[in-house]
Every structure is written in structure tokens, then in C-alpha cells.
Structure 1
Amino acid sequence: MRPFPRVTAIVFLLTAVPSLLQFAYPALETNLRRDPALIADGQVWRLVTSSLVQDSGVAGTVGNLGFLLVLGWLTERTVGPGRWLLFFGGGVALGQVGGMVFDTVGAGSSIGLCGLAGGAAIAAWTGRDPLAAAVGTLYALLVAVATLDALWGYVAAAVLAGLLISQRARVPGWAYALVVLIVGVGLTIGADLHGPALLGGLAAGGVALRRRGPGSS
């Protein structure tokens, strides 16, 4: 019997409650979001609270919460709660750095999810169950094509991710990390904070899983 994904459940509840309340109280998102000017003026708590609300409307909120449940559970099942927190935290930390450097006003749990995607990709590279990495790669690709706002991009991302998921037994473990790395670098060059968040997840995965062989816990 697999352990209950307690960290995923706790982070989901902490994120879902304010993310849903913001639709009844729109000022909530404004008061909690990342605003580099206000953060520089001393409101540093926004670096934390901006990950608890969403700036992407109903569809984006539902998508982020859904991926938080699915990707979060799969990642926690694969690497455990401690590494889960490291991956998520790595994504949030570098994502917020990117947000400050790129002067991006906004909010969302997407940077934490990017951290999970990067960490799960490294986990697959070290021989662990690649399902979390495949789902994480799908998320990374969807984040990338969202910048294009084109239907063909979503279709292409879904097809590629579908192949990675359905053929995961045949896909080399390093392939997930390579895709996430390419997307992360590309988004960083494009001044999108999700790029540093993906790279933060990869870095956290490298730190957490260094010198560990396939199948190790």
C-alpha cells in the first residue's frame, strides 16, 4: 500500500483555497501577487504568497490545481515528501528570481509545478519510475506553447507528451531531462520566469539525487 501523499495534499489545500476565493474577492490576487516594485519597497512576503493565487483565469487555475494533484502525487510517490519539497521549492525560488529580473507582475503555482517537472525528469534519469517525468514534461511543454497561443502548439505538445507517456518504458531516462532543459533555456532566453523555474527543478533534482544509482530510494 502506497503512503498517502501528505505533502501534495497540504500544498494543494494551501493553494486551492485562496486560488478559488480570489474569484469571489478579486482583490485577493492583487494583494498577494508578485509585484517587483512593491517587493523592492519591502513587501517581500509577496515572493511566497504569489504562488498561492493564480493570474490565469478559470482555465489556468483549474489546470494548475489539476497538475498540482496529479504531478504532485506522482512525484511524491516516486521520490518521497522531502525531495518533493526541494523540487517545488527550487522551482519557486528560481522562478521568483526570474520574475524579479524580468520585472514580471503576476501570480501562480506554475513555477512550483515547473520545479516538480524538472526534479521528476532527473529522477527518471536516475532510474526511477518515469511516469512523473512524463507528466512533468507535458506540463513544461504546455507552459512553453502557452507563450505561442496557437492551437497547433497545444496539439504538438499533447502528441509528444502522449508518446513520452505511452512509450515511457522505451524512452531513455535522460530524454525527459533533455526536453525540460531545452524548454527551460528557451523560456529563459525569452524572459519568461518559467524558464528559470524549470532549471531550478533540474538543479534541485541534481542535488537531491546525486550519486544515487537506479532504483535507489
Structure 2
Amino acid sequence: MSSRDQILGRVRRALADVRDGEEKDAHDTAVPRDYLREHGDRTTEQTVDLLAENLADYRALVHRCAGEELPELLMRLLAARGARTVLVPPGLPPAWLAAADATRVHDRAASTPRELDEVHSVVTGCAVAVAETGTIVLDGGPDQGRRRITLVPDHHICVVRVPDQVVSSVPQALERLDPARPLTWISGPSATSDIELDRVEGVHGPRTLEVVLVSGV
């Protein structure tokens, strides 16, 4: 008897006492969703503060600025990294990098992993940010580009518009996202630990994640 036959046999035995029509009725029954949609009662400002706190707890570097300060801040962050090249999604607002000296590298389908690995930094927007988990979500939108451009370069700067793109909880984030899009959920820089709990960063994504919370854009 094959493994497939064994599994199907177990399914048949488990359904042996189910009468005709019962299985369909069970699938048509609404699942109660009375769980908490968010934990606690916070103001918008407190929600943004919680996002910043949880991002930092995950070892992301968090910055705050007003919209008119964003170009200079991005210029300083790239210069501090010594970034001579910066990968740019096609829909990133040109004004964001107007003050940066780094050479722009465009997001192209033909770029190889080796070419992407040679890029010093990448700057993107985001789809939504979750305060309770310190998570930013990318969905491949015009200001975010292909998923791989945020996984291969070693330094990622993600711009989050506050408060418009900030929600309290994962359920609230899911309401804003299209499940058919390529979603990337990021909680801090890429990291893993071995059996002795030695943490290593940059294994399967950027070693350094910087998040800019920008207001007024």
C-alpha cells in the first residue's frame, strides 16, 4: 500500500460517521471571528510610537522626519553607509533622493543576483506597517519594486508614511492588502540563530534595515 493510499484511508475512516450533506453544511457555517482586532486603546500618536518601539526592538534603525526633511535625511543615511550606488524602484518619488549623491540603479527584470549583490543600498516605500508586531509589509507596488531588490542588497531603507500607512494589528493590515500580490513581511533585519543561539544577521536578506517614519507626505 502506498503512502497516498494510507492517507486517503485515514481520511475515509475519519469521515465514516458523517452523513450525506453534513460535510457541506459544516463548510457553509460561518466561523466566529470575535477575537481582539487590536490590543489596547491607543491614539494615533501612540500607535506610531509603538511601531517605532517594536521596530527598534527588532534591531531596525528608526528615524523620524517631516516630509520636507526626507531628501536630506536619506542623503545622510546613504552617505553614512558609504553607499555609492542605490537601487531605486520605478515608482519611487524622485524628490526623495534629490539630495543623494549615490548613483541610481534601476529595478530591472534582467538584473542578476550577482549584480544586485553589488548594489550598496536600496530605498523603498511600503504598503503598510503593523505597530503591534513591528512589521513592515511590501506588496511589490511601484514605490517598492520587485521582492528580490529588498532581499539581496545588504542595506535597506524603507520609508513609511505616518500615520496613513500605520495600523495597530495584523488583522487591520490584512484588510488593506491584496492576497494576490507578492507580500513580503519584514520584522527587523534578516537574522537567524544556530543551536547555541548565536545570532547571525544578513543570512537571507539585508543585514541592516533602516525605517524612516515620515509625516506630511
TM-score w.r.t. the length of structure 2 is 0.23
Which of the two has greater strand per residue? 2
For the pair shown, the structure with the greater C-alpha radius of gyration is: 2
Which of the two has greater helix per residue? 1
TM-score w.r.t. the length of structure 1 is 0.23
